[in-house]
Amino acid sequence: MDTPDDDELVRLAREAMGRAHSPYSKLDVGAALVTASGQVFSGCNVENASYGLTLCAERTAVVKAVSAGEKSFTDLAITTSRGEPLMPCGACRQFLREFGAELRIVVEGQSGQRLVSSLAELLPQAFEPADLASEGETGSAQ
Ligand code: THU
């Protein structure tokens, strides 16, 4: 499967952003996540009248991918309805980190300005799955 380029990935994130359910914040967010096999899973933010239940677009995309059997990701595009590019929230950075640090992240606002970074850059010194290895496995004397 051909891996989509950034323009196509941003287009897919925008398409998903069009389906955002964001009556409370009025901020529409879209995400498009590429798997190592070249598939794309998109997502939008889904708000709830019980505000704390809100799901971010990035996590929607991850949950769709994982429930389809995909856990290896290469690129993520994020778009929002604001002019300037908005970076992913801390919760989403941690949620993404579960599946590796080498994710390339492209963020674009309505202005068309594009910022490219990586999860390793956006979440340095992360708490990660390996931190849950038993003491024996990590070689600790305790
Ligand atoms: N939001 C996302 O979808 N992704 C982020 O990384 C930050 C915030 C959504 C959640 C909520 O629907 C709205 O933006 C305002 O916080």
pLDDT at 140 over 60: no
Q: For position 134, what pLDDT does the model report?
A: 81
pLDDT band, residue 139 (cuts 50/70/90): low
∠ Cα 57 110 9 (to 5°): 55
CA distance readout (Å), 90 to 6, 40, 95, 122: 23, 23, 9, 9
pLDDT at 13 over 90: yes
Task: Kindly state if the Cβ of 89 falls inside 6 Å of ligand 1.
Answer: yes
CA of 29 relative to ligand 1 center, distance in Å: 6
Task: Kindly state if the Cβ of 57 falls inside 6 Å of ligand 1.
Answer: yes
Region 70-89: mean pLDDT is 98
The label of the residue with tokens 């398409």 reads 15
CA of 138 relative to ligand 1 center, distance in Å: 36
pLDDT at 119 over 80: yes
Sign of the torsion formed by the C-alpha atoms of 116, 121, 127 and 130: positive
CA of 98 relative to ligand 1 center, distance in Å: 19
Indicate the average pLDDT of the chain: 95
Distance in angstroms (rounded) separating the CA atoms of residues 64 and 52 = 20
Give the 3-state secondary structure of residue 117: strand
Nearest residue by C-alpha to atom 2 in ligand 1: 56
Domains of the chain and CATH, by start? 6-132 (3.40.140.10)
Residue 44 phi/psi, 5° resolution?
-130, 165
